[in-house]
Structure 1
Amino acid sequence: MAQLTPVLTANWGDDKPWTLEGYTASGGYAALRQSLGMDAGDLVSMVKASGLRGRGGAGFPTGMKWGFLPAPDGGPRYLVVNADESEPGTCKDIPLMLANPHVLVEGVAITSYAIGCHHAFIYVRGEVVHVYRRLLKAVADAYAAGHLGKNIHGSGFDLDVTVHAGAGAYICGEETALLDSLEGRRGQPRLKPPFPAVAGLYARPTVVNNVESIASVPAIVTGGADWFTSMGTEKSAGHGIFSLSGHVTRPGQYEAPLGITLRELLEMAGGVREGHELKFWTPGGSSTPIFTAEHLDVPLDYESVGAAGSMLGTRALQIFDETTSVVRAVARWTDFYAHESCGKCTPCREGTYWLKQVLHRLEAGDGEEGDIDTLLDVCDNILGRAFCALGDGATSPITSAIKYFREEFEAGMHTPASELFPPNRSALFDYTPRRTGAAAGVVPA
């Protein structure tokens, strides 16, 4: 069985690891000092050689993204950290920033030095106020210790870091929508090209990376590219945080090499909850095609998951046992995507609305002949035609669920999902339906 590889999570159990003192006690900011003595180009080459790929979903090589920036022209260039984590089932960046914010700050400083950036931004989800405050404190402490600001550690390198709280729009996880929001405009995706590397924040060259991607940089600097490539697979190198939630005995964050399987992770997590068996699961959040028990041994790396018909995404492994209605689960996800559609393009704006209507009809047992074909047809009209990936992601759970569990959708023509799969059986906690009116002892006025 593969072993856990605590790197980003290594100090989570320490005494107050989120403080500057706690972080430096475990070797924090040594990588920054080492980096400032290196040539910036060598840092970019090191990250390229490490094989680090974006940990936010798409898996694009991080060092290659840095290398896309045009030659310096005397104007500013920016680093933007996408901390707007909001994919259903995804919960790795928020606990990382809460438990170990300084590793992100150090990664921001190293990355900024490597790409020639003197003003970096961390765009964090506004609802997580506790994380926002912790990041503000970490940045303030880093300034006070000389890790940020003017002439960092006598190197001649200057860097300012701004922590910005978004307003809570899922679409702002898309990098260009995030940039528009950061500039004070409505968060909607931009037409590409030009790509952010050429014309990003304030129309200047910009690198946009995920929290976990940037937080992985300090360890690569101190450990070296060969150390990082010694973990994971040939094309999906290194370690990553896997978020297990749902019907699992011990849900939580498991940091392991890429290429580990769900079967191995479940062994570490105590398996599916007692007395039940795995029915379906998501390998990378709700916007990735679902898997079933037959995929337990698929290596969780970008290539293997893709070859099996899904995407590794954010490594948000939502586990569902046999008590769960697939139709109900997919309907809830679709509610989310319909609500979070920014409305810029017709396929997503209108398509997710109609998907939602049909799914709720099937969930209620009021499905009509042809509803399943309608779902597939609408998904086909969204896929590849939406302005950004939100539309494509909204279709993935629907098409894959119909592929593996078509009979449940057909049952929606005559039987409510609540009868086939009573909600109290799949609830993780004591399930007591809300009582209102006379049933609750309330006498109408």
Structure 2
Amino acid sequence: MKIAVIGGGTAGYIAASHISKHFPQFNLYHIYDSTIPTIGVGEGTIPYFLTWLDKITNLSYAELEKRCHITRKFGISFENWGVEHEQFFHHFYPVGETYAYHISAVEIVNLLQEYICATKIDCQVIDVKSNGISANIIFANNTNLEVDLAIDARGFPKSFDDDYIQMSWIPTNAALIRQTPGDNDHLIELKMGSHLLKYQSATRSIARPHGWIFTIPLTNRTSYGYIYNRNLNSLSEIEADFDEFFLHEKITYSGQPKNINFPNFTVRNCFDGAVFKIGNTSAFIEPLEATAIGYILQQVEAISCWVLRAFAKVDQREKLDETQLRVFNQYFLNYAYKISIFVGWHYTMGSRFNTKFWEFAKDNFYQEITKLENDQLLEEFYSLLELAAQLPHPIENFPEFSSTLAEITNIFTALLAGFTKTFGQWTKPSFTEVGYGIGYFSN
């Protein structure tokens, strides 16, 4: 059985290393174009990434720190979002115990390639044709490769046809990236009512006049990104405010900044039976909640459980069941929608800045979300908000909030409390922390 992974970015290397580890019986091809540069910023992950990475590499934290410059991510510190609280925190759960990684996007690719057992093809792909049972990969050198399954991780589509849906309820579409030298002090201090919490490291999300800035600390450098709307503010305005932020933080950047335009979108059908689009090829949602790697892992695990396990039992593949294919595509369409709804909701209470961007961002979500094709998703969203409002205030009464979560010790109490109900990558406590943090529940 021939399987091809197309793409030399994070998604491509995650998919290729995953298949190499769990399905060594396949004839795997890893296809990439080494002339295409990677963005190379630091990346935030989710806690499950630690489990996945351990299965692939079995490396210790110390080894990963040395190879990929990782730091622990205990959550996201939001600063200046909404008008009620100067700062709030979106944890992983259990609070203070669970963490993810900040990791170098360049070095994780370098690491994962050591765990890939595949025929490597370094060549530009100009087209991938599919008949639903096999895929024909066309190369720029006029050669081709026919495979039973192609996993397409080539990045943003060059054009958007009717199978792509623009998520206009998210108000940003560009990022200016800067890097600073490494700093061993990544401590985050957080005042929660009368309690002062300290975390070794976390992602910061700082609202600014024209958008917001992320900081992702690695051991050798820190990535900063100013996320904004290029239709509302010029690059010179962003650069000027970025400079002001750096001056206030008493830091200087090094190297050449990168300005990146991005679409917020999802493909309607990510899988046609022979070609499976993953990562930025299938969807992209701005990095406010660092959902990209979690989304990739969800896709890779899903195709493994359904398709690859079935392929491993036969010598020749057959056409996949159309009903199952529709269910699979609808699941990932809804999953991308849910991520975009949760992210877009963060903007609805504005920030401490009364500017053109924030006036637009506050109103944009409710104006544009009406374009969503699935009313049931919004019903699920508002249902979870109602449940989330019942938990103790996570800022003004953090000890009670934390102890309430700790009491959910088994599946039965979790079911009764509504903790097993998910919306994309989040459960009820996430809605509670963000909702109270931005001031939504006080509205």
The TM-score normalised by the length of structure 1 is 0.27
Higher Rg: 1
Structure 1 or 2: more helix by fraction: 1
The TM-score normalised by the length of structure 2 is 0.27
Structure 1 or 2: more strand by fraction: 2
